[in-house]
Amino acid sequence: MRITVIGTGYLGATHAACMAELGFEVLGMDTDSEKVAALSAGLPPFYEPGLADLLRRQVNSGRLRFTDSYLDIRAFTAGAPAVHFLCVGTPQRPGADSADLRFVERALDDLIPQLTASGLVVGKSTVPVGTAERLAARIGARAELAWNPEFLREGFAIGDTLAPARLVFGVRTARAERLLRQVYRGALTRGVPLVVTDLATAELVKVSANAFLSTKISFINAMAEVCEATGADVTQLAQALSHDPRIGGQYLRPGLGFGGGCLPKDIRAFLARGNELGVERTLTFLREVDAINLRRRARMVDLTREQCGGSFRGKRVAAWGAAFKPGSDDVRDSPALSVAASIQLQGAEVTVYDPKAVDNAHRHFPELGYADSALEAATGADVVLHLTDWPEFQELDPALVGAVTTRRRLVDGRNTLDDQRWRAAGWTVRALGRPDRTVRAKAVGRFRGPVLSRPPDRSAPPPRRP
């Protein structure tokens, strides 16, 4: 069996390298000749832990190669069963919430002349439900179409491909299922759960998963808003909720919210598709999920302004983080950069540092300042912002950072720094969804009533009257 991968962006490059790692001969196809040249040299055009080594190893083995010409596909697959994976991006349509399917459609149209009847086209891109049926009609009798949605997490993409949590095959025939079982035989032998279903359900699995994860993140951030109004602590609330096996702790992390190239655009596209299907009222909650997520960014700006005395004019702000999440250099819809840019527009001088995403951030936000280290970014700062929770930031010495700042003020947008450790070094620490402990301590100090070190024992008998 030969495998081709159409589109070598984040999904496609990772999938191609992993398929070669499984022993298949793989041809990656992309119309971007510069990207093809880099991949052919074993250089991924983005950061993903472990991918550079895997890519170089498979290119050097001869099992993996890349091309910018669709004509090479027919020669590569001649005389052998072929599975063609569509891994083309589906960004948000400009000026609308719906998914832009032009790239998928164009890629398929260019692939169709190279197909043979023995070929199987497998969609992995995230698309609105109903797209696969339309694409199958576009292919006609030239080949068969199946859908095998991806569930990659940036920062964990290789493991998610080689050892997935589950596999979903949307198929029309037993032959399509059989070919996909051959592709994933290693994972299936190890007992990875498999769901075989129709095309529409396979499409819905991906968007439903993203909608659920987005809702879970926004739920705990909605609780953060309640905590800020009541003086409660959202991190302790989340910890208590996570012990309920029906809820669990994954994605129940309060903070600055989600971003990247998947969750935001996918829930908006799901809403748009719901409107087209006449079930817009069913998915209305996703609009509030999106709104809660965006409000966390605005609240982070407000908290920072408070720490700057009510105005950003003439203030210097250090922004630790630019990628939308650690383990990635992806800055698409990054909450960190959204906050940094908003503060800069309101008059502050903002300096950004990120272990991997500075170059990408600079391309998208050239007006911001950039540093080569966390300490350099913090030098002369009136306030330090923790915006992307890279492990590097948790390991910093608060005293060492405090020695280079103008004032020791920290706003933790990810709730992952040890606030007690920073306070012990003389820092004022604020965080999303958590009370101002300095203010609360002063309020407790003014209380003149009795202080109970522990709750009274309600089971003990009442004292006898003399």
Within 13 Å, how many C-alpha atoms sit on residue 132's CB side?
26
* Annotated catalytic residue within 18, 227, 262, 308: 262
Distance between CA atoms of residues 38 and 23, nearest Å:
22
Q: Name every residue whose Cβ is closer than 8 Å to that of residue 459 and which is 6 or more positions away in sequence.
A: none
Within 13 Å, how many C-alpha atoms sit on residue 98's CB side?
12
Q: Do residues 59 and 40 touch, judged by C-beta distance below 8 A?
A: yes
- Is 262 annotated in the active site? yes
Distance between CA atoms of residues 55 and 38, nearest Å:
11
Distance between CA atoms of residues 7 and 198, nearest Å:
24
Residue (of 126, 153, 127, 124) closest to 251 by Cα position: 153
Q: Do residues 147 and 122 touch, judged by C-beta distance below 8 A?
A: yes
**Would strands 194-197 and 2-6 be described as parallel, antiparallel, or unpaired?**
unpaired
Q: Name every residue whose Cβ is closer than 8 Å to that of residue 202 and which is 6 or more positions away in sequence.
A: 132, 147, 148, 149, 168, 169, 170
Catalytic residues: 262
